[in-house]
């Protein structure tokens, strides 16, 4: 139907993932209605946003019709029945291209699904297509633009996933984070980004950049929506040694529950605080003041000053090993940024790399005193709103230390500049305490909404 959206499609797109799920389950909506609304929206905004690396509308509608047919039989449906999900183009999808953001993998079509894609399909999700990633999920930007301002970066490396959710193309999307590749683009694009604890979601079938850091994450419009999709993905898989057998996580149930007591937050100025722009510093000062006795200020141990260098050392050393095959196949095809990173990784000594691997546990232990006094740390998701220009994906200085620690982190779009550009409020919890973090984030989002409606602001 071209680039014009019908009123019915716009009504569907205005619903969050949970509301869509409930209407689909009741039969008030069909999967084909939701899928078509998303396709109409993509047709309208994709020429500007450019979030998709691969999309086949016929395949989307085939999945939707099959899901509707299944529901008509009266058999049980999955927790994500009929919900379209965008998949970052470093996550393998059977019989669907996965090019990893590089011409070296152009035309690559995996024969098997990644663990997370298997889980999504089993839960009844519609695999909408593949979202744009930066080159091999590192720093060289892809084609995607920020939905709030096409002349600004959407962040990276999960640029397409964040932009697709922000632009209303899909209610949910999957990304990955090795430095700040979920939290930063979510903050820049004005959506919720959730990076679970390290090892919570198996990475089997996902491009390996840094086994000690790589983490699957999700994008959604609300905290509860993020909990809905993340809960489906948690688990143990023998193909990923970072995962462990564990009880089923009740992320959604916990996130939707009222906290037993009013949460306490600890405001932290992370290393690199001087990089924060004036809008960010001012907004967080106002937020802390508005929270009053619900928030106290805390300082990270001095050891955290080394976190950025340590994380980069691990990342580059492991990337030089993991991407060696790409370098051999076509170094000249790789961007100068990637070539420089691989050379830097090869220059790191075994001694320095092995020593760096001790730091995540050391740093997480250093958080103990702060996290014992609060429900979550609150801190900026980025130094400011999305920077102008498309030659960079922005700075991950406020994300990488939490990735290194393996702690869960979530960003919620609670702040904005005078020009309306979103700025994310990042919350960080204790490793393994993901459900509590999501509950605290939902509480904070509700508190901020109530404050705004009462004219108090944040």
Confidence of residue 399 (pLDDT cuts 50, 70, 90): very high
197 included as an active-site residue: no
CA-CA distance, 433 to 283, in Å (whole number)?
27
Convert 17-54 into a string of H (helix), E (strand) and C (coil): HHHHHHHHHHCCCCHHHHHHHHHHHHHHHHHHHCCEEE
Q: Which phi and psi angles does 253 have, rounded to 5°? A: -60, -45
Task: Give the position of tokens 């492991």.
Answer: 318
Sheet of 84-88: strand order equals 52-55, 126-131, 84-88, 172-177, 215-220, 192-195, 409-416, 422-428, 376-380, 265-268, 295-298
CA-CA distance, 227 to 255, in Å (whole number)?
7
Q: Residue 450 CA to chain centroid, in angstroms?
A: 26
Q: Which residues contact 34 (CB under 8 A, 6 or more apart)?
A: 12, 20, 24, 64, 82, 83, 84, 126
Confidence of residue 418 (pLDDT cuts 50, 70, 90): very high
93 DSSP assignment: B
**Six-digit token string for 232:** 């489906």
pLDDT digits (tens, 9 = 90+) for 227-268: 999 999 999 999 999 999 988 899 999 999 999 999 999 999
- The average confidence (pLDDT) of the chain is 96
Q: Catalytic residue, from 88, 121, 130, 195: name it.
A: 88
Q: How far is CA 186 from CA 111, 174, 191, 282, 414, in A?
A: 30, 12, 5, 21, 12
157 included as an active-site residue: yes
Confidence of residue 1 (pLDDT cuts 50, 70, 90): very low
**pLDDT confidence of residue 96:** 98
Q: Catalytic residue, from 121, 130, 157, 195: name it.
A: 157
**pLDDT confidence of residue 346:** 98
pLDDT digits (tens, 9 = 90+) for 136-161: 999 999 999 999 999 999 999 999 99
Give the architecture (CATH level 2) of 82-458. Answer: Alpha-Beta Complex (3.90)
Least confident span in 11-20, 36-45, 110-119, 209-218:
11-20
Q: What is the mean predicted confidence (pLDDT) over 406-425?
A: 97
Higher pLDDT, residue 406 or 9 = 406
**pLDDT confidence of residue 152:** 98
Residues 99, 53 contacting (CB under 8 angstroms): yes
**pLDDT confidence of residue 31:** 98
88 included as an active-site residue: yes
Helices (H) and strands (E) in the chain, counts: 18, 11
Residues 365, 357 contacting (CB under 8 angstroms): no
Task: Give the position of tokens 């999709």.
Answer: 229
Q: What is the mean predicted confidence (pLDDT) over 104-126?
A: 98
**pLDDT confidence of residue 456:** 59
pLDDT at 4 over 80: no
**pLDDT confidence of residue 10:** 78
- Kind plus residue range of the DSSP H or E element containing 265: strand 265-268
Q: Catalytic residue, from 158, 159, 161, 181: name it.
A: 181
Q: Which residues contact 95 (CB under 8 A, 6 or more apart)?
A: 109, 110, 111
pLDDT at 219 over 70: yes
Judged by DSSP in three states, 84 sits in strand
């Amino acid at each position: 139907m071209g680039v014009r959206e019908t009123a019915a499609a716009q009504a569907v797109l205005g619903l969050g993932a949970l509301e869509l799920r409930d209407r689909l389950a009741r039969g008030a909506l069909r999967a084909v209605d939701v899928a078509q609304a998303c396709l109409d929206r993509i047709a309208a905004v994709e020429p500007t946003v450019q979030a998709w690396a691969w999309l086949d509308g016929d395949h989307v509608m085939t999945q939707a019709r099959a899901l509707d047919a299944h529901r008509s039989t009266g058999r049980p449906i999955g927790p994500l029945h009929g919900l379209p999900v965008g998949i970052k183009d470093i996550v393998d999808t059977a019989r669907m291209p996965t090019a990893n953001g590089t011409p070296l993998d152009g035309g690559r079509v995996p024969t098997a699904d990644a663990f997370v894609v298997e889980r999504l399909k089993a839960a009844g999700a519609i695999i909408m297509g593949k979202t744009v990633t930066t080159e091999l999920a590192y720093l060289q930007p892809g084609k995607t633009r920020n939905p709030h301002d096409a002349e600004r970066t959407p962040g990276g490396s999960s640029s397409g996933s964040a932009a697709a959710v922000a632009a209303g193309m899909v209610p949910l999307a999957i990304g990955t984070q090795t430095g700040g590749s979920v939290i930063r683009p979510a903050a820049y694009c004005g959506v919720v980004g959730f990076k679970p604890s390290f090892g919570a979601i198996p990475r089997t079938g996902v491009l390996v950049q840094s086994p000690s850091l790589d983490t699957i994450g999700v994008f959604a419009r609300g905290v509860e929506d993020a909990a809905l999709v993340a809960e489906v993905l948690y688990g143990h898989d023998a193909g990923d040694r970072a995962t462990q057998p564990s009880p089923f996580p009740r992320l959604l149930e916990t996130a939707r529950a009222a906290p037993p007591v009013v949460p306490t937050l600890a405001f932290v100025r992370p290393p690199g605080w001087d990089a924060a722009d004036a809008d960010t510093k001012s907004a967080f000062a106002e937020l802390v003041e508005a929270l009053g006795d619900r928030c106290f200020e805390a300082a990270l141990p001095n050891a955290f000053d080394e976190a950025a260098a340590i994380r980069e050392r691990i990342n580059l050393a492991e990337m030089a090993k993991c991407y060696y095959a790409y370098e051999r196949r076509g170094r000249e095809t790789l961007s100068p940024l990637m070539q420089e990173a691989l050379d830097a990784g090869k220059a790191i000594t075994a001694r320095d790399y092995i020593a760096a691997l001790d730091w995540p546990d050391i740093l997480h232990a250093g958080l103990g005193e702060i996290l014992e006094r609060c429900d979550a740390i609150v801190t900026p998701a980025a130094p400011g709103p999305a920077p102008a220009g498309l030659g960079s994906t922005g700075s991950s200085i406020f994300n990488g230390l939490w990735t290194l620690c393996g702690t869960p982190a979530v960003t919620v779009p609670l702040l904005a500049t005078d020009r309306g550009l979103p700025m994310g409020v990042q919350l960080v919890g204790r490793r393994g305490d993901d459900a509590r973090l999501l509950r605290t984030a939902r509480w904070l989002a509700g508190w901020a909404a109530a404050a705004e409606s009462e004219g108090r602001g944040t």
